[in-house]
A = this chain, B = another copy of it.
Amino acid sequence: MTSTPVQGAQVVSRVASLLRIVGRKPEGSPLVELVRESGLTRPTVHRLLSSLASEGLLDQDPQSGNWVLGPEILLMGSVASARFPLEDIARPSLRRLAEETGESAFFSIRRGAETVCLLREEGSFPVRSFVLHEGVRFPLGVASAGTAIMAFLPEAEQEELLAGWAAHARDFAAAHTEALVRENLAKTRQAGYSVNPGLVLEGSWGMGAAVFDQRGRPAWALSLTGIEPRFKGERQELLGRLLMEEAHRISTLLQGTAGAV
């Protein structure tokens, strides 16, 4: 993440990390938070934010003063979507999943050693969790989407992640011990789908299924989240079946897409 093999690029890496932090939440972040999260000094952060804003990459919300993603990001995102039309590919599956299960459905992408939540579709069930939303990142192996993806990576890559597990999982390492994760990965490989039994947030369960790219690598994941009682017993198998069905449908769709991400 913080590795920058490219020389002479201090500002680029700083700017990128600020953009990522701002992009974690649709409502953006105040300056202090960006200072804290980035580890930079206030003047530096402020100057970078101002220049990013003057370029249209960020905006400052007049009400809250929060820094939010700017119009240029929207534009570029729109162009990037032309190469990879997420909405067309994944949205219908999310709609069906949310509709049929009543839970909230998510589409996440693998990005390096993380998963990032891209799309969300609210379910009808009146109790909903708000841990997961567009922009949220988890280390691979944490949460249902990350587990589903990691389970189907080449074994060497899995072992690499597990070797530096504590550093990789960070705050999540406490609840996600290496042994527990290994067990979850094995279960996932067997069942085809992953189950997160409230490890991220007590009582908040999740299930996920990996989506494979043209080269057969697990690059995305569909997932469902909801409260514990709705993810047990027979219903768990039902949800798993639905997830895998839709994941397979998307994987197939992707065979027809030109550019990979």
Contacts and interface: CB of A to CB of B under 8 A. Distances in A.
A51 interface: yes
Given A51-B6, A54-B5, A76 B79 contact: no
Nearest to A53: B6
B23 A79 contact: yes
A74 B77 contact: yes
A118 B52 contact: no
Interface residues of A, number: 60
Contacts of A75: 23, 109, 111, 116, 118, 135
Given A4-B51, A47-B7, A20 B111 contact: no
Contacts of A77: 73-74, 76-78, 80-81
Contacts of A154: none
A32 to B, nearest CB: 20
Nearest to A133: B82
A16 interface: yes
A217 interface: no
A188 B135 CA distance: 41
A86 to B, nearest CB: 7
A78 B56 CA distance: 17
Contact of A74 (B15, B50, B261): B261
Given A75-B118, A81-B77, A47 B16 contact: no
- Between A20, A83, A111, the greatest number of chain B beta carbons within 10 A of the residue's beta carbon is seen for A83
A142 interface: no
Interface centre among A5, A20, A51, A75 (most CB of B within 10 A): A75
Contacts of A68: 83, 259
The 6 A-B residue pairs with the shortest CB-CB distance in the complex, in nearest-first order: A77-B77, A9-B51, A16-B55, A12-B51, A79-B135, A11-B11
22 contacts: A6-B54, A9-B51, A11-B12, A17-B55, A19-B76, A20-B76, A23-B75, A26-B82, A68-B83, A69-B79, A69-B83, A70-B80, A71-B111, A72-B111, A73-B77, A74-B80, A74-B81, A74-B86, A74-B261, A77-B81, A78-B86, A87-B87
